[in-house]
Amino acid sequence: MTISSLPPLLAEAISARGYDALTPVQSSVIKPEAEGRDLIVSAQTGSGKTVAFGLAMAPDLLGEEQRLPRAEAPLALVIAPTRELALQVSRELQWLYQNANAYVVTCVGGMDSSRERRNLRQGAHIVVGTPGRLRDHLERGALDLKALRVAVLDEADEMLDMGFREDLEEILDATPDARRTFLFSATLPRPIVALAKRYTDDALRISTVGEDRGHGDISYQCVTVSPAEIEHAVVNLLRFHEAETAILFCATRDNVRHLHATLVERGFSAVALSGEHSQQERNRAMQALRDRRARICVATDVAARGIDLPTLSLVIHVELPRDSEVLQHRSGRTGRAGKKGTAILVVPYPRRRRVDSMLRFARIQADWIDPPSAEDIRGKDRERLLEKLMEPVDATDADRELAAHLVQQQSAEDIALALVAAHRAKMPAPEELLGGKAGAPEKKKREGFDHTVWFKLNIGRKQNADPRWILPLICRRGHVTKNDVGAIRLSQHETFFQIPTSIADRFYEAVQRTGGKDGEDDAGVIIEPAPDGAGHGEHRPAPRGKIKPTGQGPRGKPLGKFKKPHRKGGPKKHYKS
């Protein structure tokens, strides 16, 4: 189906927006076999599904006269899981039906409910809202659904996941039996099937997931990093790409808060979106992104639903999505309307196998790369600066006068240096990553490693242990630098490493503080003194529960006394060698 086959009022609106063809889901819902039927549609985020159900409901709203009647009781109802998505749907339907003089009323939590009730009393053709607010208006008698012709459940799977089943059932029970029902859901789990069975009649099943899967306009990349250097890698990714607008996904509101504070501290213009923010705060954040006062949004999955930013070209999965559907929901925020986008998964080394499996299931081809280094970023900055300076300048006479004065006062080289310095001062400094070749332990003998203590980690080759990410982890847990870590030796299930005797006390105290009750960090890694009998040639690890220096005596014989740190409140114990 083409745009020319649409009702003239809608065809004009779509053409005016610059679209010259319909997306697969839009074409599917207006085919002859879909006319007059209930629909169950599976389509990915960013596939144009809002316009799709707007087109599908047109015959019921416009009728044979191809125009809307006088606005009274609602003819169409659209239910969305979040405020942002409801507001986005409302804006889309307004421009789609603007030539038909449609009156669209939005009812969402966090807004003035009394004003919404006044708008409903004045009459509406289409009502768009969130389940809780719509149910409230229904129970108060402000929302009259007796004349409803079409009911749309947008992202139905998400609404059930968020606990809106009772709200949806009460709303749908109040609608006429003769209505058409459109159920749009990226997935069809058992609760969705049960809902569809109850509230649809001989529904036509439409799926464009196979056609849209993976989002053809999105380039996927997987960046492998040490778990301890995720934030540094994110900083370098933002600096390397310098996207006009980027969104960073975290799993929890606490992690959103922490990452947002980290980025702001480093000089990025960023906003945060999570469940702890009020509607007013969310509105301010979105406005900052739209008017370019902020370029980065740190968000949780639910808080980011409904975000539609034309300039969004970069999505970074700071914390991995729980499955392939969430991956595509998140990534679908970019690569819209034919524009290109980039989605980057920040993958801790131990989780690579899981991400590989997720990508295969989603049929997504991704490039596995290392995070950009500081040198890579400086090279990109140089390219961008030269490109910027080569652009033609629309200068005023005052600008030319000032430029001539500068040329008289300073040499061309000094002016260029000042320009470069001003350009770099506006951008946050890249991070030096410990991982990679630069972070590999040195093989030659280094000063300060004549007397060392062996420690061990509870991960080895079986868990994809690698010095590239082991070294940063040791440094973060023990509050030391890479120059304080000696040899790193991998076995099948464990990793052994050296720490100079002079700092071993301090190192082990830090390791205990940064671990949990059982000594594990968030990734389940335990660092402790190496047990006896692990066997590393002349550098034999110390007995379990004792920390011994090694290196001068024959085959690791003790060189003196060493105290093991004690936990607060417990007896101070001395371990003699």
Query: For the chain, what are the domain ranges?
Result: 3-212, 218-373, 376-425, 437-550
Dihedral class, residue 189 (left if φ above 0, else alpha if ψ from -120 to 50, else beta): beta
Give me the pLDDT at residue 407, please.
87
DSSP code, position 562: B
Q: Which of 212, 235, 205 lies closest to 223, judged by CA?
A: 235
Distances (CA, A) of 202 to 32, 41, 58, 196: 15, 13, 20, 10
pLDDT digits (tens, 9 = 90+) for 44-94: 666 788 899 999 999 999 877 777 888 889 999 999 988 878 888 999 999
In this prediction, residue 553 carries a pLDDT of 34
Quick one: pLDDT at residue 452? Answer: 87
Radius of gyration of the chain (CA): 30
Q: The tokens 């100079």 sit on which residue?
A: 500
Q: Worst-scoring range by mean pLDDT, 230-234, 416-420, 423-427?
A: 423-427
What pLDDT, on the 0 to 100 scale, is given for residue 447? 62
- Whether 238 and 247 have beta carbons less than 8 Å apart is answered as no
- Distance, in Å, from the CA atom of 405 to the CA atom of 416, rounded to the nearest integer, reads 15
pLDDT at residue 265 greater than cutoff 80? yes
pLDDT for the residue numbered 46 = 63
Assign 78 to helix, strand or coil.
strand
Least confident of 10-19, 56-65, 529-538, 566-575: 566-575
Q: Which fold has domain 437-550?
A: Alpha-Beta Plaits (3.30.70)
- Cα–Cα dist 55/31, whole Å: 11
Region of 560 (left: φ > 0; alpha: ψ -120 to 50; beta: rest) is left
> Do 218-373 and 437-550 agree at the fold level?
no
Strands 245-249 and 312-317: parallel
Q: Which of 59-68, 153-162, 485-494 has the highest mean pLDDT?
A: 485-494
Q: Where are the alpha helices (DSSP H) in 153-252?
A: 156-161, 165-173, 190-199, 209-212, 230-241
Residue with tokens 């969104």: 247
Higher pLDDT, 36 or 438: 36
Average pLDDT, integer, range 296-301: 91
Which of 156, 12, 2 shows the shortest CA–CA distance to 79? 156
pLDDT of 193? 87
Assigned CATH topology for domain 3-212: Rossmann fold (3.40.50)
Residue pointed to by tokens 């009460």: 170
Half-sphere exposure in the Cβ direction for 159 (13 Å, CA): 28
pLDDT band, very low/low/confident/very high, at 275 (cuts 50, 70, 90) = confident
Whether the per-residue pLDDT at 175 is higher than 70: the answer is yes
Q: Is 272 left (phi over 0), alpha (psi -120 to 50) or beta?
A: beta
- What mean pLDDT is predicted for residues 125-137? 94
- Res. 306 pLDDT band, cuts 50 70 90: low
Q: How confident is the model at residue 188 (pLDDT cuts 50, 70, 90)?
A: confident
Can you tell me the mean pLDDT for 199-208? 89
Question: Which residues have a Cβ under 8 Å from the Cβ of 513 and sit 6 or more positions away?
Answer: none
Length of the chain: 577
Give the residue-averaged pLDDT of 475-481.
88
Tell me whether strands 452-457 and 495-500 are parallel, antiparallel or unpaired: antiparallel
Percent of the chain with pLDDT over 70: 86
The pLDDT of 365-390, averaged and rounded, is 88
For the 218-373 domain, the top CATH level (class) is alpha beta
The residue with greater pLDDT, 106 or 557, is: 106
Answer whether 165's CB lies under 8 Å from 191's CB. yes
Calpha distance 60→149 (Å, rounded): 6
